[in-house]
Each structure stands twice: as C-alpha cells, then as structure tokens.
C-alpha cells in the first residue's frame, strides 16, 4: 500500500548511503510500501493438483506478457539497452529447470503454487549470494521482482505504481524493484531513497537512465523519514538530508544549479578526446554486460569497451551456451563497435551458479574457491568453447581476450596454451579470424600484482580490477555491512600494488588499464593519471564526467598529486590529501571545451 504524504515539523537529519545515480533534488517525501505478499503454504487436494499446475503456468505466461510490456515501455522511453534489463526477468520465467521443478514440486508436495515458486526463487537467491562479484549478487532483487509479479497474478492483485501521483515528490522506500523504477519516468517523481540496494543493481541502472538522483543502502534509518518531510537527495555524494536547515537548503539549491550547468558542459565534452591541458591523451572505455548496451557506449563517447562481461550467457542457463550462440553474440558486439576495440573477459563465475555442466557443489568459502580462471582450467571444454567463439568474433572487429582472477604465472601459461590451440584449430578448419588478437589478464590479487614483472612478459596488456584487488588485499568483503568501512580504495597498500603493476607493464612495453569503480570516480582521476595508467574503463554514463576531469588537469600536476599521496602511510592521510586536492581543483578549474 501507499501512505498519503503529510507534513511534520521535525529536526534536521543527515543520512548516508550509496550514491546510485548522480544529481541533486529537493522535494517532499512520499513513503512507499509495496506491501508484503503472503506466500504461506496451503495444502491442495489431490483432485485439484493439476488445476493448481495450470493456474501456475497461466500466471507465468501473464507475468511474461507484463514484463514484455514494461520492456517495450522502457525501450520507447529510454533505449533498447535499458529495455534489455528485463531480459533477465524473462529468462527466469523461461528457464525450464525452474518452471518444471516448480510444477514437479506442486504435484509432489500438493502445496499452493505461490509458496512453491517463492521457495524455489529463494534457493536461487541463496546461490546468487555466494557469487563473489557484487554485480551478480545484486541480481536477487530481479528474482524477487519476478516472484512478486507471479504471486500478484496468482492472487489476482494489481501491483502498485506511481502513475497517479499529483505532485513532484521524492520516493522513500525500503526497496524498489526494477519494475517499480521503470514506471517512475512517466510520473511526478524527482528522485528516490532506499534502505537497500547497491550501485550495480538494476534499480540503480534504471535510476541513472531516467536521470533520477538516487541514494540506496541507507539502512534502517530510512524508516525515520515521514511522509511530507522535506528531503534533499544528493546522488553525487550518497547523502540524504531530511528537513534541512535554512542554511543547508540554500546551499543545496545553489549546488543544484551548478549541477544543471555542469551537465550542459559535459554534453559538449562527450565527443572530445580525453586529453589533459598539456596534451597527454588517455583511453576512456566502457564496461558493459549486455550487447544492447553498445548504443550507450557510442552515445557517451567511449573509445571502446574495456570490459565486456560474458557471464550473462551462462548465469541463467541450464547448460553451457554452445559455440555458435556465443559467436553470434560476440561477433555482433565487435561488428557494431568496429573500429573501436572490445575486451571480452572470459567467464568470471564460480561453480555455484545456475550452469549445471560445470557444477562443483557446495564450497565453504566460495570467495577463495574454484572460480573464474580456476573454474575455466578445471572445466576445459567450456573454456575452449568460449575461446573459440571469441576468436571467431575477431573476424568482425577489434577483439581482445582477458582472463580474470589470475594468481599465478602457471594459470596464464595454461590458458595461453589453450588459446593458441584454439587459434591453430580454427585456422586448420579454414575459419576466418584476425591475424592478431591481444591476450591480457586482470590484476585482481596481490600475488598477481607482486609478480607483475613476470606476468607482463606473458601477455599483451594488464587491466587492474580495483574492486577485487581492494577486497583481496585488505581481506574485506565490501558487501558485508559489518566490515564495509574497511573497504578503502585509498589504502596505501592498494595504491602501491597498483603502481607496481603499472610500472611492470611499462617496463615490458605493454599497456595497463583500470576497470574497477575507481576508474569511474573523477576524484580518483588525477591519482590514476599520475600513476601512469593508460586506460580507464567504467560504466558508459560515467564517461563524460571523467573526461571532464581529465581535460581540467595537466599530466604534470597529476604526477605531483600522486607522489604526494603515495608518500602517505595511513588511509586517513591519503583520504585527507585527496579531499584537499579535490577542493583545490574545484576552486581553480572550470570546465573548458576545447576543439
């Protein structure tokens, strides 16, 4: 249900969360509660079991139709890439293993369809929670979004939406699904605040696409916001101010006007080179997950794709995708982006995914288990199929291949031998492939960084995955709220490992990029440039802001900034130095559009 707005004179509160979509908005709170669905088990008489099965299948078909309608709406309102978000919803409902298993359990247990289906989704959600990549852990929100749709249809209920709002509001909710967010674009919603969610969730992606400033993950403090409270949403800093003081209200109104002007400036910068004031150029590329995101890559002025996540083909599959299926997908992406390069990262999942072929069972510590390159070298038929498909795609565009989670030179040599064998086999079969396909690795573990000098002699490029490098260096799970404060990108150990990797790459004449979240943070841009990084790869919408930061700076001052920060020995010192540099650059630099 939805609670009607009411005003209350209450003291100022400042809440912090995850900055999910940039921008600043100010408006009254609209407290939204989706309402808990009852999915309690109810026995079904034997004589009505088949009727219950048909009721379930009809609800699945009805939910599919509704998802397709939402997808078309998003495609019309935004673009095909964001409409493709709802493909994952459809894949859940088109997975024969899930649907057939639910039907079998309805018949076996003689329980109501709502309960059995929800129980199976919970099992899948538990598997997703074990995947080390936050990007995939956050997909359980999509699963339960689908579950709500099916449950509503089974119970004959209509899902709540925002189309009938009569005034501009800031939505405050415990959680919002991608379906909820997709319907905001046609309503009077200024932005939103959620207790749950992360920066790579589909809800966050939709918020960015709809240009709705959003802060997620503020926790239980979300419940302290009352309907009608005046709320400032700062999607740049991840800050929510409830009932702001007169001084803060004036401050944020001025900041909002600066954001509007900055967006205009960034639109002009989008298609200009990422070049410093003293003429140094760096490559700025995009990270993508789906082929439909290619249009967004081009629209934001990316010079290529620095990370194409191939996992979407495997995540919801009951069997590994065959060579032809993968070749079609990779070839289409390479063709559409040609002559821009595309770096395809090989499978970066563990045995605890939905892929039945390489299942390895339960692991006590999946973060440190049979994952990524380890799984590929264990399941060589799956890995060889993917290598062949990527090589075949090289005939259609500038293709690179990249291995994740490397921890030893032996892994690189084994994978390289398979890559060379796939190349030899394809040539002997008369299959056209590019003469040169660069072969690189991700630096995500301390062992890889500390042996980067030897690794650099084995490959054509490095890409530093800062998200995992930070986690493995500091022994911190960044999605574990109890230790999340220890996840520090500016920890001196992390910066030193990154610098070691860059220097080792350059000594051997290869390039080194960064493709983690640090690459998308303009405050980190001078540090990465000063460190000598050759490429920054990030989500496509972040590119204009980073390019703006690059064009404000000189390489000489970036090198000095890095040296100053590298001399620090504590996180507090490095963070303080970055804040001082950020304030100085904000004062001294203005966005400049150069031809």
Question: Are residues 458 and 557 located together in one domain of the fold?
Answer: yes
Domain edge (last residue) among 397, 416, 437? 437
Tally of domains in the chain: 4
Question: Are residues 124 and 240 located together in one domain of the fold?
Answer: no
Q: Pinpoint the alpha helices (H) of 110-214.
A: 113-129, 134-137, 140-155, 178-182, 202-209
- For the packed helices 113-129 and 96-109, what is the interaxial angle rounded to 10 degrees? 130
CATH number of the domain at 424, please.
3.20.20.60
Residue 168 CA to residue 152 CA, distance in Å, equals: 28
Question: Are residues 70 and 187 located together in one domain of the fold?
Answer: no
pTM (global) more than 0.85: no
> Which structure tokens are listed for 350?
């563990």
Q: How much is the pLDDT for 434?
A: 97
Question: Are residues 430 and 458 located together in one domain of the fold?
Answer: no
Q: How much is the pLDDT for 211?
A: 79
Question: Are residues 455 and 508 located together in one domain of the fold?
Answer: yes
Q: How much is the pLDDT for 588?
A: 56
Residue 462 CA to residue 477 CA, distance in Å, equals: 24
Selection from 317, 320, 319, 342 nearest residue 332 by Cα? 342
> Which structure tokens are listed for 115?
């309960």
Angle (CA) 344-348-101 rounded to 5° is: 120
| Cα dihedral: 215, 218, 221, 226 (round 10) | 20
Q: How much is the pLDDT for 204?
A: 77
pLDDT by residue for the chain (595 residues), tens only, comes to: 444 444 446 789 999 998 888 889 999 999 987 655 667 898 999 999 999 999 999 999 999 998 888 888 777 766 555 666 677 778 778 777 778 889 999 999 999 998 998 888 778 767 666 654 555 555 566 677 787 788 888 887 766 666 667 678 999 988 887 777 776 765 688 999 999 877 766 677 778 777 789 999 999 999 999 999 999 999 988 999 999 999 999 999 998 888 777 767 777 777 889 999 999 999 999 999 878 788 889 988 999 999 999 987 876 555 678 999 899 999 999 999 999 999 999 998 764 443 443 444 555 455 677 788 998 999 899 999 999 999 999 999 999 999 999 999 999 999 999 999 999 999 999 999 999 999 999 999 999 999 999 999 999 999 999 989 999 999 987 666 677 678 889 999 999 999 999 999 999 999 999 998 899 999 999 999 999 999 999 988 889 889 989 999 999 999 999 999 999 889 888 888 887 877 776 555 443 433 3
The answer to whether residues 217 and 194 touch, using CB atoms and an 8 Å cutoff, is yes
Domain of 340 in residue numbering reads as: 310-437
Residue 22 CA to residue 40 CA, distance in Å, equals: 40
CATH number of the domain at 220, please.
3.50.30.10
Known catalytic residues? 202, 515
Residue 344 CA to residue 339 CA, distance in Å, equals: 15
The answer to whether residues 463 and 535 touch, using CB atoms and an 8 Å cutoff, is yes
DSSP conformation letters of 155-172: HTPPPP-STT--S-EEEE
The answer to whether residues 437 and 391 touch, using CB atoms and an 8 Å cutoff, is yes
Question: Are residues 501 and 538 located together in one domain of the fold?
Answer: yes
The answer to whether residues 404 and 373 touch, using CB atoms and an 8 Å cutoff, is yes
The answer to whether residues 540 and 491 touch, using CB atoms and an 8 Å cutoff, is no
Question: Are residues 426 and 549 located together in one domain of the fold?
Answer: no
Flag whether 547 is in a domain. yes
Question: Are residues 577 and 460 located together in one domain of the fold?
Answer: yes
Q: How much is the pLDDT for 105?
A: 93
Residue 355 CA to residue 352 CA, distance in Å, equals: 8
Flag whether 41 is in a domain. no
Question: Are residues 135 and 186 located together in one domain of the fold?
Answer: no
Question: Are residues 67 and 215 located together in one domain of the fold?
Answer: no
Question: Are residues 444 and 362 located together in one domain of the fold?
Answer: no
Flag whether 1 is in a domain. no
Domain edge (last residue) among 437, 459, 479? 437
DSSP conformation letters of 328-396: HHHHHHHHHHTTSEEEEEPP--BTTSS-STT-----S-GGGSSBHHHHHHHSHHHHHHHHHHHHHHTTT
Question: Are residues 314 and 367 located together in one domain of the fold?
Answer: yes
- The separation between the first and the last C-alpha atoms of the chain, rounded to the nearest angstrom, is 53
Domain edge (last residue) among 155, 176, 193? 155
Strands (E), 182-301: 189-194, 214-216, 230-234, 239-242, 283-288
């Amino acid at each position: 249900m939805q609670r009607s707005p009411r005003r209350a004179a209450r003291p100022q509160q400042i809440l912090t969360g995850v900055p999910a979509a940039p921008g600043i908005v100010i408006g009254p709170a609209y407290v939204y509660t989706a309402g808990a669905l009852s999915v309690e088990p109810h026995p079904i008489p034997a004589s009505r079991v088949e009727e219950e099965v048909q009721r379930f299948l009809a609800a699945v078909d009805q939910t599919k139709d509704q998802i397709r309608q939402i997808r078309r709406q998003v495609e019309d309102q935004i673009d095909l890439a964001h409409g493709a978000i709802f493909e994952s919803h459809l894949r859940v409902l088109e997975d024969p293993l899930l649907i057939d298993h639910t039907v079998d359990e309805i018949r076996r247990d003689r329980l109501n369809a709502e309960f059995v289906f929800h129980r199976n989704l919970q099992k899948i959600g538990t598997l997703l929670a074990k995947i080390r990549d936050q990007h995939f852990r956050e997909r359980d929100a999509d699963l339960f979004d689908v579950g709500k749709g099916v449950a509503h249809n089974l119970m004959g209920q209509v899902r709540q939406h925002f189309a009938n709002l009569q005034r501009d509001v800031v939505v405050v909710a415990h959680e919002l699904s991608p379906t909820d967010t997709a319907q905001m674009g046609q309503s009077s919603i200024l932005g939103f605040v959620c207790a749950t969610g992360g920066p790579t969730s589909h809800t966050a992606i939709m918020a960015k696409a709809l240009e709705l400033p959003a802060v997620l993950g503020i926790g239980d403090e979300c419940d302290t916001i009352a309907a009608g409270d005046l709320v400032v949403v700062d999607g740049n800093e991840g800050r929510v101010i409830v009932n702001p003081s007169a001084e803060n209200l004036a401050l944020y109104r001025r900041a909002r006007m600066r954001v509007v002007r900055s967006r205009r400036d960034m639109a002009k910068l989008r298609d200009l080179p990422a070049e410093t004031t003293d003429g140094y150029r760096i490559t700025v590329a995009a990270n993508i997950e789906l082929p439909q995101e290619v249009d967004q890559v081009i629209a934001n002025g990316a010079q290529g794709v620095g990370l194409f996540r191939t996992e979407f083909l495997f995540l919801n599959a009951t069997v590994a995708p065959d060579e032809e299926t993968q070749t079609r997908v990779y070839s289409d992406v390479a063709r559409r982006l040609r002559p821009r390069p595309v770096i395809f990262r090989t499978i970066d999942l563990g045995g605890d995914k939905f892929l039945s072929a390489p299942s390895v069972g339960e692991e006590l510590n999946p973060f440190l288990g049979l994952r990524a390159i380890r799984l590929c070298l264990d399941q060589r038929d799956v890995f060889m199929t993917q290598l062949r498909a990527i090589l075949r795609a090289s005939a259609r565009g500038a293709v690179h291949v990249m291995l994740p989670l490397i921890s030893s030179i032996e892994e690189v040599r084994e994978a390289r031998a398979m890559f060379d064998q796939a190349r030899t086999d394809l040539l002997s079969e008369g299959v056209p492939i590019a003469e040169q396909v660069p072969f690189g690795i991700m630096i995500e573990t301390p062992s890889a960084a500390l042996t980067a000098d030897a690794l650099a002699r084995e490959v054509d490029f490095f890409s530093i995955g800062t998200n995992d490098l930070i986690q493995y260096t500091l022994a911190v799970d960044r999605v574990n709220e109890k230790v999340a404060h220890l996840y520090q990108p500016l920890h001196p150990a992390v910066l030193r490992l990154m610098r070691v990797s860059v220097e080792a790459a350059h000594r051997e004449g290869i390039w080194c990029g960064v493709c983690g979240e640090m690459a998308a943070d303009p405050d980190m841009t001078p540090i990465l440039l000063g460190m000598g990084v050759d490429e920054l790869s990030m989500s496509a919408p972040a590119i204009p802001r980073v390019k703006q930061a690059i064009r404000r700076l000189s390489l000489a001052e970036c090198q000095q900034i890095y040296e100053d920060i590298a001399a620090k020995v504590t996180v507090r010192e490095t963070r303080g130095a970055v804040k001082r540099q950020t304030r100085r650059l904000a004062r001294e630099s203005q966005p400049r559009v150069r031809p």
